[in-house]
Amino acid sequence: MNISSLIAELEEKKTLEAVKQALSDGVDPLTLVEEMRGGMSCVGERFESREYFLPELILSGELFKQAIAIVEPYMKRVSADSRGTVILGTVKGDVHDVGKDLVGTMLKCGGYEVHDLGVDVPPIAFVEKAKETKAGIVALSGLLTVVYESMKSTVEELEEAGLRDRTKVMIGGGSINRKVLEYTGADVYGKDPAEAVRLAHRLSGGDDRATNS
Ligand code: B12
């Protein structure tokens, strides 16, 4: 059974062994993470079709976190200098943090100072941290469709605080697409942690192409 299927079956011991084996076989950590994410999508589909329920969702989140703890040391920091500051968090109403944590890890590996505010973060907390740290980027994660509203409010509150000129907003998670980007008023959206790093580089370089157009 491959790693994606082992996660989908919630096979804890076998998953962790397979992850260790893949890393010692030289499999690229990011490729491995994408395969693991495939397993989580499958858990989501089973939840939707009522084959799995909340306990299985909880188990899958815990299993993924254990597996990521094994993979993380293999993700190398590529830049010693700080490229800038990013405020990261899962927006108000949403407690999914597995993807957000991965984005944070990758941004750190990419040379950013990351302030992770956690989950269920109200707009004002992003505003205050952005003011305090003079961060150039605020990165919002959200998996539930109902929290697009929280993303929109966060962008609006940054605007009201007069921070939008110097603070770019990146959003990601779940089924976020161009329509959501337009709805929320954020600057860019990304699908995975590697894209988050590419977008952060472009945003912090002041490149006009740092949009999804
Ligand atoms: C595990 C899980 C949970 C766990 C989360 C544990 C944890 N610590 O995070 C728990 C049990 C808490 C949970 C609860 C709920 N969940 Co849930 N959950 C999932 C599941 C199966 C996996 C999520 C996951 O960890 N994926 C793995 C990570 C690596 O991927 P990811 O999160 O997508 O993140 C990647 C990208 O999106 C991107 N990314 C993420 N953030 C950002 C940010 C930026 C800036 C960028 C650029 C990129 C980026 O990069 C990440 C890494 O590759 C998904 C199914 C799915 N397909 O996602 C459902 C899912 C998200 N959950 C769902 C639901 C409905 C719920 C509940 C409402 C269930 C309930 N009845 O209570 C609650 C909501 C609680 C709340 N208020 O938030 C639905 C959402 C439906 C919707 N459209 O809104 C899903 C899609 C399942 C489904 N198919 O029905 N859940």
Amino acid identity at 42: C
- In the prediction, which pLDDT does 207 show? 46
Largest CA distance in the chain: 53
Is the shortest distance between the CB of 177 and ligand 1 below 6 Å?
Answer: no
Q: Which letter, b or e, does each residue of 86-125 get, where b requires 16 or more Cβ atoms within 10 Å of its Cβ?
A: bbbbbbbbbebbbbbbbbbbbbbbbbbebbbbebbbbbeb
- CA 134 to mean position of chain CA atoms: 21
Q: Which two tokens stand for residue 104?
A: 């944070």
Looking at the domain 84-204, which fold is it? Rossmann fold (3.40.50)
Shortest-distance atom of ligand 1 to CA 48: 90
- In the prediction, which pLDDT does 210 show? 43
- In the prediction, which pLDDT does 121 show? 98
Q: In angstroms, rounded to a whole number, what is the distance separating the alpha carbons of residues 114 and 85?
A: 6
Shortest-distance atom of ligand 1 to CA 193: 50
Is the shortest distance between the CB of 104 and ligand 1 below 6 Å?
Answer: no
The residue nearest atom 25 of ligand 1, judged by CA position, is: 98
Is the shortest distance between the CB of 72 and ligand 1 below 6 Å?
Answer: no
- In the prediction, which pLDDT does 6 show? 97
- In the prediction, which pLDDT does 209 show? 42
Q: In angstroms, rounded to a whole number, what is the distance separating the alpha carbons of residues 164 and 138?
A: 10
What secondary structure letter does DSSP report for 96? -
Domain ranges of the chain: 3-74, 84-204
- In the prediction, which pLDDT does 82 show? 80
The residue nearest atom 84 of ligand 1, judged by CA position, is: 144
What are the backbone dihedrals phi and psi of residue 110, each rounded to the nearest 5 degrees, phi first? -80, 0
Question: Is domain 3-74 annotated with CATH 3.90.1170.40?
Answer: no
CB atoms within 10 A of CB 152: 18
Per-residue confidence of the chain (213 residues) as pLDDT tens digits?
Answer: 899 999 999 999 999 999 999 999 999 998 999 999 999 999 999 999 999 999 999 999 999 999 999 999 998 766 667 889 999 999 999 999 999 999 999 999 889 999 999 999 999 999 999 999 999 999 999 999 999 999 999 999 999 999 999 999 999 998 899 999 999 999 999 999 999 999 999 998 844 344 454
Q: In angstroms, rounded to a whole number, what is the distance separating the alpha carbons of residues 129 and 127?
A: 6
How many A from CA of 171 to the centre of ligand 1?
14
- In the prediction, which pLDDT does 113 show? 95
How many A from CA of 81 to the centre of ligand 1?
32
Is the shortest distance between the CB of 198 and ligand 1 below 6 Å?
Answer: no
Which segments of 84-143 are extended strands (E)?
A: 84-90, 112-116, 137-141
